[in-house]
Structure 1
Amino acid sequence: MNHPPSARTLLVGLAASLAASAALAVTPADLLRTYSAQAGAAPQPARGQQFFNASHGREWRCASCHGAVPNQAGRHAATGKSIAPLAPAFNPERFTDPAKAEKWFRRNCNDVAGRECTAAEKADVLSWLLTLQP
């Protein structure tokens, strides 16, 4: 009898896949395709902008640290530490390391939404960030 894979099995597989791909630099568009495929839906930049600027029942929004339009350096709301621009057009290093992107999505989504973001939310936010151009 076949049983569907457990969430843990899927997460371990995703982590291994991300770790293997971490050695290879990717483009933000590559990462967006990955999140979109995981979500099973096309990303929606407008929904990403809304998610980024909305309160999700917690003290902070993404914009609390990154700014409403993250094309300039931000500042961590609690520590005051400077944060490089989030939009890839303004910081070419952003979203080029899948493991690093996952690490920060996990941390920041927990701070902002009290949970990990879904693949669709990540795709939506990243697709909006990719619309920001100099």
Structure 2
Amino acid sequence: MKFFLRVGFIAMMSLAGASLVGAAAVDDLLAQYRTQSGGTFNTEEGKAAWNRLIPDSKTGEERSCAGCHGSDLRRTGKHLQTGKPIDPMAPSVNAKRLTDPKFVEKWFKRNCQWTLGRECSPKEKGMFLTFIQNQ
């Protein structure tokens, strides 16, 4: 019995540690985006941007972040083009999300290009990150 309690405690502490690392990574990125954009961010702005439909310049088809990741970031998404499942974005259910600043930047570069047809501005990154962080 003590073994299972120890294993449970270790697992719980690992998740708590990942959450703290993720929170620190997000705070650092948000500070950087605030400096670059000269503004602040809020969850509602991020939610609106997340759900905004943007026509693809080549096909005219409308895309949005929610198109692949969904509006409820606690659930599994599905890539529109490939059909591959996408793990939940919400850090509240996926402790691995938002823990690596380099991966977050890579994710923004790839997904902003695919969805918006360009890189995201620091303001957009801050809005999206604030929205995701609060899910």
TM-score (norm 2): 0.73
Quote the Cα distance in structure 2 between the aligned partners of 1:60 and 1:100: 22
Give a deviation string over 1:82-108, Cα, whole Å, max 9, x none: 111112222111111111111111111
| Structure 2 residue aligned with 1:56 | 54
Quote how far apart the aligned CAs of 1:28 are: 2.3
Quote how far apart the aligned CAs of 1:57 are: 2.2
Instruction: Give the counterpart of 2:81 among 65, 78, 83.
Output: 78
Quote the Cα distance in structure 2 between the aligned partners of 1:127 and 1:121: 10
More helix per residue: 2
Quote the Cα distance in structure 2 between the aligned partners of 1:92 and 1:30: 17
Letter in 1 for 2:27: A
Percent identical residues: 39
| Structure 2 residue aligned with 1:131 | 134
Quote how far apart the aligned CAs of 1:39 are: 1.6
Paired residue secondary structure (1:106): helix
Where do 5+ consecutive residues of structure 1 fail to align?
Answer: 1-23
Quote how far apart the aligned CAs of 1:46 are: 1.1
Letter in 1 for 2:109: R
Instruction: Give the counterpart of 1:91 among 90, 94, 115.
Output: 94
Quote the Cα distance in structure 1 between the aligned partners of 2:72 and 2:26: 18
Instruction: Give the counterpart of 1:103 among 81, 101, 106.
Output: 106
Letter in 2 for 1:39: S
| Structure 1 residue aligned with 2:32 | 34
Quote the Cα distance in structure 1 between the aligned partners of 2:68 and 2:119: 18
The residue correspondences of 1:14-25 to structure 2 (distance < 5 A) are none
C-alpha spacing 1:57/1:40, structure 2 compared with 1 (3 Å): same
**Post-superposition, which runs of at least 4 consecutive aligned residues in structure 1 deviate over 4 A?**
none
Where do 5+ consecutive residues of structure 2 fail to align?
Answer: 1-20, 57-61
